[in-house]
C-alpha cells in the first residue's frame, strides 16, 4: 500500500486501498495499524481534516476493526 506523509502531531503517514477498504496509519510513535471496512469518504475526509488526530479519534479509532502491523522505522 502506498503511504502518503501527512502534517500531523499524531500521524506520520496514511495509506488506503479502496478495493479492500483498508486504511493503514503510521503513527508518530512508530506503531502501524490497519483499519478494516473504512469507506472511501472517511479516507477522503481524514486527508482533508484540519486536525487528522482529532478526526482519527472521532471517526476511526474504536469505530472500525483494526489490527497492528509490526512497527516501522521512519
Q: Is the pLDDT of residue 2 over 80?
A: yes
Q: What is the pLDDT of residues 6-39, one digit of tens each?
A: 999 999 999 999 999 999 999 999 999 999 999 9
Residues 68, 29: contact at Cβ < 8 Å? Answer: no
Burial pattern 25-47, b for ≥16 Cβ within 10 A else e, equals bbbeeeebbbbeebeeebbeebe
pTM of the model: 0.91
**pLDDT band for position 72 (cuts 50, 70, 90):** low
pLDDT at 1: 84
Amino acid at each position: 500500500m502506498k503511504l502518503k506523509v501527512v502534517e500531523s502531531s499524531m500521524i506520520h503517514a496514511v495509506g488506503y486501498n479502496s478495493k479492500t477498504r483498508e486504511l493503514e496509519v503510521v503513527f508518530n510513535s512508530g506503531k502501524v495499524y490497519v483499519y478494516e471496512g473504512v469507506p472511501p469518504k472517511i479516507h477522503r475526509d481524514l486527508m482533508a481534516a484540519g486536525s487528522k488526530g482529532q478526526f482519527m479519534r472521532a471517526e476511526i479509532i474504536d469505530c472500525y476493526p483494526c489490527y497492528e502491523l509490526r512497527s516501522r522505522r521512519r
